[in-house]
Amino acid sequence: MKRSILALASGAFILGAAEFVMMGILPQTATAMHVSIPAAGHYISAYAIGVCVGTLILVFGRKVPPKHLIILFMAIALVGNTLSAVSFCSPMLLVARFISGLPHGAFFGTATLIAKTLADKGKEAQSVSMMVMGQTVANMLGVPAGTLLAEAMSWRLAFAILAAWALMTIVVVISWVPSIDPIKDAGIKGQFRFLTHPGPWLILLAVFFGNSGIFCWWSYVSPWLQKTGGWSATMVPMLMVLAGLGMVVGGIVGGRLTDLWKAGATAALSHGIALCGLLLVFLLPGNHATTALLTFIIGFALFFNSSPQQLLMVQAGEGGGELIAGAAVQIAFNFGNAIGSIVGGAALTATAMNYHFTGIAGAPISLLAVILLVLYTRRYEARA
């Protein structure tokens, strides 16, 4: 891996860990903040809302060199995770999580452009998948490590380490990422021109629905593993490693398949796998073997579609809208996370905390993603 891509992957690691670690430490955080598990799900939603709002940074930073934007995003991540580590009440933690989410979408939009620009010809999707791998490694190692810290010491320590990692990433980005020219200045209006075409909307809606469906279940994966699978709390970090492994493998396979096949079709296949997994969450009674297998499969599907969807949107935004288009994927991704967390929490409340119903709540939503991407690939990728 090129050093420049490794530096970007380090930033993706921070943001991925900051986003997903809450799922592994949700019970401890809820206890510390004196709220219920469904109410603690709002910490996940607050991060996702921050992602959506933070994209405005790109609207007003379009003339800034992409490398400088990456440094800014890491500085914001440093502040947000520091505040999360020292939060003393639920409202403060909500604000800290919102700040932590601000750089997320803007970072991935900018990092995708840099990775694509620095890639060898014909390997653009693989380069993007290597950058995104930082996020998947965060799920394989960072999230379980955070869960272990929460079990053994304090959930606050996880955020403190992420703050320190953000500071380190600023140093390596300055040292390793080359300067590339800012994107073409198409003006504020021109940055959004790609949204006048139906194709990007199909992709963004598919990302939104696909992630909404998965996060109905994933937001509550820690208690699901314990209540449905019968796993002890001490084993949950190991199962988070398994989920993260699925995400890493899914990200690599998705990048390679996209360079060989069709990006839209690859993403449709991914959401189809997730749909099957969610149906099995509802249908299977749940034991050690089935819950472990489903954790891997749905984790695989979650990041199988990352590089094809990111690449499709950056290509759609060419001519001045690349950064906004790349960030739009993360907006749809995290808006879907927020809605999925809310829908999953509502399903738990309505069924007296029956965790099987997080699967059936998410399955119809994921089906919409499959339909939208099949429509996209048939209409826009027939000759690809």
Domains of the chain as residue ranges with CATH: 1-184 (1.20.1250.20), 185-383 (1.20.1250.20)
Taking only the tens of pLDDT, the chain with its 384 residues reads 689 999 999 999 999 889 878 877 888 899 999 988 878 888 988 988 888 888 888 887 778 899 999 999 999 999 999 999 999 899 999 999 999 999 988 898 899 889 888 888 777 778 888 888 888 787 778 777 887 888 888 889 999 999 999 999 999 999 999 988 887 777 778 888 888 999 999 999 999 999 999 999 988 888 899 999 999 888 887 888 898 889 889 988 988 888 888 888 999 999 999 999 999 999 998 899 999 999 999 999 988 988 888 888 888 888 778 888 888 888 888 788 878 988 998 999 999 889 999 999 999 999 999 999 999 999 888 554
- DSSP alpha helices (H): ranges in the chain? 3-24, 26-33, 37-54, 56-60, 66-86, 90-118, 124-137, 143-152, 155-176, 187-191, 198-218, 221-227, 236-260, 263-283, 288-304, 306-316, 322-350, 357-380
